[in-house]
A and B are shown apart, each in its own frame.
Chain A
Amino acid sequence: MRIDLEPRGAPSRMLEILAPVAAFAVALLIGGLVVWLLGKSPVRAFQVYFVEPLTQGWSLQEIAVKAAPLALIATGLAFCFRANVWNIGAEGQFIVGGAIGGWIGLLTHGGAGQGVLGSWWILPAMLIAGALAGAAYAMIPALLRVRLGVSEILTSLMLVYVAELWLDYMVRGPWKDPKGFNFPVTVTFDSSATLPLLVEGGRLHAGVLLALVAVAVATVIFARSLFGFEVRLVGAAPRAARFAGFSEKRLAVAVLAISGAAAGLAGIAEVSGQIGQLQTSISPGYGFTAIIVAFLGRLSPPGILVAALVLALTYIGGEGAQIALKLPLDMTKAFQGVLLMCVLAADVFTRYRVRIVTGGRA
């Protein structure tokens, strides 16, 4: 007996939309099984994870706040993944963007260095610096790839740990708040270095708008622009892209810069909008979760927006489950991993039909 994968003629539009939904359903079943094996009620867990966060105003805001960085990073990653460039290091670009952007907030703390300009420029400068720093950090794997042929998968991933340890050092050392009772945190940013809130007294900050704008812009670029065409073509048929006159190397640098900038921007938006200071860890793994978001959203920006909301829900639900059911937070990460596997498997099934050959006639 053997199992054959036969290519389907043309995957139907319906199938392509249903595949991620089916993947999510299968991941739920597997997650439920694990919860059951841990001795808890899967039904109750489902309720805590996926229903309760949707019933309260504060948690809805929290979902949006968590979905924003995911959507922003995943939109950038969509450029990479569509062009067959495998940037696994968005987490590192996120951290470096947040740290460098935040650094401007530290430099201008308490009115320092503002001179005659006033303070209006600080926030834009932080955002721009964050995006540029993320892009610059992504240039390391980009140049290693196009100059020396080093796989960006390894370099971008390893640079995540470099970024994490570097931020850890900076916050414990040079950037530590002198009046912070030796806690490894910086001073709290001034209001001029903090993204404004969208809802009075709430959690929703302007970083959410950045994500929405990024999704909209990326949608137009993919659908209408020659650059989007180039990205799609290089990924789908590299030889045809060369024939079209597009340079794979130039494109690899461009998409890594874009995704690095998006991750860096997400990083600084998180730091200045949500955390309000730098600390040893500024991301609950957004850069990695965004990879799942990108694929769950089928690498299309509107899909990514939906997927980011779903994944944000698992973060919030995971916190709830920790409190209500004493389920470990790792359960959330495990579920996200299972979800990614299911999405990738569903992709295979949309493109191929499985045929089991038992030696009899097919």
Chain B
Amino acid sequence: MTAATTLATPPAENTPLVSLRGIVKRFGDFVANDRIDLDIRRGETHALLGENGAGKSTLVKMLYGLLEPSEGAITWEGRPIRLTRPDDARALGVGMVFQHFSLFDNLTVAENIELVLPKEARRADLAQKIAAISQRYGMALEPDRPVWSLSAGERQRIEIARCLLQDPKLVILDEPTSVLTPQEAEKLFVTLDSLKAEGRALLYISHRLEEVKRLCDRATILRRGKVVGACDPRRESARSLAALMVGQEVAEVKAEGQAANGPERLVAKNLSMRSRETHGVALRDVALTVRGGEVLGVAGVAGNGQSELFAALSGETRADADEEVWIDGRPCGLSGVTARRLMNASFVPEERNGHAAAPDFSLSDNVVLSRHATGGLAKGGFIAAGAARAAAQRIVDTFDVRKSGDDPPARTLSGGNLQKFVVGREILRDPGVLVVNQPTWGVDAMAAATIRQAILDLAARGAAVLVISQDLDELFEISDRIAVIHDGALSARSTRGRRHARKSAC
């Protein structure tokens, strides 16, 4: 350590490992973090709770040296520090496990770990070290497997091992369970418990409240960039935590108790498709039927063929045979997305920026994007600008889309508002078939409730709705039946959804 250490008092038992005081981070005019105070002690698991956009990621990026605070001070073991690069943070003993993995698919586990280590630590006894960590924390790792062949849980273990090889005092985990199966998550919790038992501090970011209650000793809640509360999550209910995060009670969605026994409106038979991407997932013999008035949920862990299934049903990728996909009794496997829209089907892809909507285009242009063939918005090859604006306005009014300006570019809308807009764009067409992938991904709780309610209302009007989601609670809430997609195959036996049985929201 440097000479400065001698001036500082030796870290006493009750000095926090790291404390943040008055941290402000501005991006232009936007204040992402507003005077945040936070203490993290040794041996504690500290939860950082908040909705998407509450400022959690910004805050931890400053702790990891990826961003610098605009104002405020960070102290580490009682000493003021300034982190300008991740290297500084790592040298102090901060490790981070990111939500999105940064791994090379074509390299092996060991090679991926070796890549991030400082030069002097490479080679030699790396394999032994990996084995030791693997054993000590109960994380199975096979050093010679190529990464592309691993599941999300296994990939995450590489990230954690990378982090642990540097013997960190503080480990930051950004939504670590969002890509895991419940079983994998349980294994992760065991690992995290043993890290904590060694006296390491964990900063755990999540919006999954049950996990936070299971793992964490303390929780700090962020809303719109500010700390709005701190609590012991074990003493709170999931509901009270949610209310703290959102700032108000979230409405429950209500299903019209209509029986889902309409005609078969969306059918897939023996739907198989090779993936267009190198390590993508191939669809294998998918068979499904959605009746009018019914919501079919497709559950599954990310990367098991959800986007491929969406592309196959929407017609963005065409099937090998016309008979593999049917809409309202007519085969359409070889038809493109426009032809399927003309058969009164609608689609909402997972990614709103750049897939469902063009970020730099105005809202009215974004209406033209998916309705140019069906909505009377293009006559004789020319766009009816007035009609497009009126259609956009109707979506904005019906779905309470908050925007600035008359017809602003889509990218100026917040995630939740843009999602309401693209879902509204499809639902207000009153389609007979709706296929939607991750309808409320990264959306605040109020917007999510609006979107779910709109989906249920559409089904109640007799449409067949297929919802692909990784959020099991969401599927339980809105689906009549649930099927599971795994490695490109859809489970044959659909379990019953609990839409009518289960009352609680959030």
Point out residues on A near B: beta carbons under 8 Å: 6, 9-10, 224-227, 229, 232-233, 236-237, 239-245, 247, 357, 359, 361-362
Contact = CB atoms under 8 A, between A and B. Distances in A.
Given A233-B369, A243-B337, 5 more contacts: A239-B355, A240-B357, A241-B358, A245-B338, A247-B336
Contacts of B70: 361-362
A39 B409 CA distance: 51
B467 interface: no
Nearest to B388: A229
B385 interface: yes
A243 B383 contact: no
30 contacts: A224-B382, A224-B385, A225-B381, A226-B382, A226-B383, A229-B368, A229-B383, A233-B358, A236-B358, A236-B359, A236-B360, A237-B357, A237-B358, A237-B359, A239-B351, A239-B354, A240-B356, A240-B357, A240-B358, A241-B358, A243-B316, A243-B337, A243-B347, A243-B349, A244-B337, A244-B370, A245-B315, A245-B373, A247-B336, A357-B68
Interface in B322-355: 336-338, 341, 347, 349, 351, 354-355
Contacts of A224: 382-383, 385
B7 to A, nearest CB: 22
B381 A236 contact: no
Contacts of B381: 225-227
Nearest to A8: B28
A9 B360 CA distance: 11
B122 to A, nearest CB: 26
B412 A244 contact: no
Nearest to A245: B338
A226 B372 CA distance: 8
Nearest to A226: B378
Interface in B373-427: 373, 378, 381-383, 385, 409, 412
B372 A244 contact: yes
A280 to B, nearest CB: 42
B69 interface: yes
B341 A243 contact: no
B65 to A, nearest CB: 11
Contacts of B181: none
Given A224-B385, A229-B383, A233-B361, A244 B369 contact: yes
B73 to A, nearest CB: 11
B294 interface: no
B68 A243 contact: no
Contact of B383 (A225, A237, A359, A362): A225
Nearest to A247: B336
A243 B355 contact: yes
A361 B24 CA distance: 12
Contacts of A362: 68, 70
Nearest to A228: B383
B142 to A, nearest CB: 35
Contact of B412 (A10, A236, A359): A10
A247 B354 CA distance: 16
Nearest to A358: B84
Contacts of A232: 361
Contacts of B27: 6
Contacts of A361: 68-71
Contacts of A225: 381-383
Interface of B: 27-28, 68-71, 84, 314-316, 336-338, 341, 347, 349, 351, 354-361, 365, 368-370, 372-373, 378, 381-383, 385, 409, 412
Contacts of B315: 245
A245 B354 contact: no
A240 to B, nearest CB: 5
A247 B315 CA distance: 12
Contacts of B361: 232-233, 236-237
Contacts of A243: 314, 316, 337, 347, 349, 355-356, 369-370
A31 B118 CA distance: 48
A137 B85 CA distance: 53
Contacts of A229: 365, 368, 372, 383
Nearest to B26: A362
B68 A237 contact: no
A245 B355 contact: no
A359 B84 CA distance: 6
B298 to A, nearest CB: 19
A362 B354 CA distance: 31
Contacts of A237: 354-355, 357-361
A10 to B, nearest CB: 7
A241 B28 CA distance: 31
A10 B356 CA distance: 20
Contacts of B69: 361
B36 to A, nearest CB: 16
Contacts of B351: 239
Contacts of B365: 229
A16 to B, nearest CB: 12
A9 B28 contact: yes
Contacts of A226: 368, 372, 378, 381-383
Interface centre among B70, B358, B382, by most chain A C-beta atoms within 10 angstroms, is B358
B356 to A, nearest CB: 7
Interface centre among A225, A233, A237, A243, by most chain B C-beta atoms within 10 angstroms, is A243
A118 to B, nearest CB: 36
A226 B385 CA distance: 11
A232 B357 CA distance: 13
A37 to B, nearest CB: 41
Contact of B409 (A10, A244, A247, A359): A10
Top 4 nearest A-B pairs (CB, nearest first) are A245-B338, A237-B358, A245-B337, A226-B378
B106 to A, nearest CB: 21
A359 B370 CA distance: 46
Contacts of A6: 27-28
A56 B456 CA distance: 73
A237 to B, nearest CB: 4
A65 B67 CA distance: 55
Nearest to B28: A9
A241 B347 CA distance: 14
A362 B66 CA distance: 13
A245 B360 contact: no
A362 B32 CA distance: 15
Interface centre among A225, A229, A359, by most chain B C-beta atoms within 10 angstroms, is A229
A64 B90 CA distance: 64
A6 B70 CA distance: 15
A131 to B, nearest CB: 21
A10 B410 CA distance: 11
Contacts of A9: 28, 412
Interface centre among B316, B369, B409, by most chain A C-beta atoms within 10 angstroms, is B369
A30 to B, nearest CB: 31
A160 B95 CA distance: 55
A224 B370 CA distance: 17
A5 to B, nearest CB: 14
A225 B409 CA distance: 19
A213 B366 CA distance: 30
Contacts of B336: 245, 247
A229 B378 CA distance: 11
B387 to A, nearest CB: 13
Nearest to A234: B358
A240 B354 contact: yes
Nearest to B67: A362
Interface centre among A229, A240, A247, by most chain B C-beta atoms within 10 angstroms, is A240
Given A224-B383, A225-B382, A240 B369 contact: yes
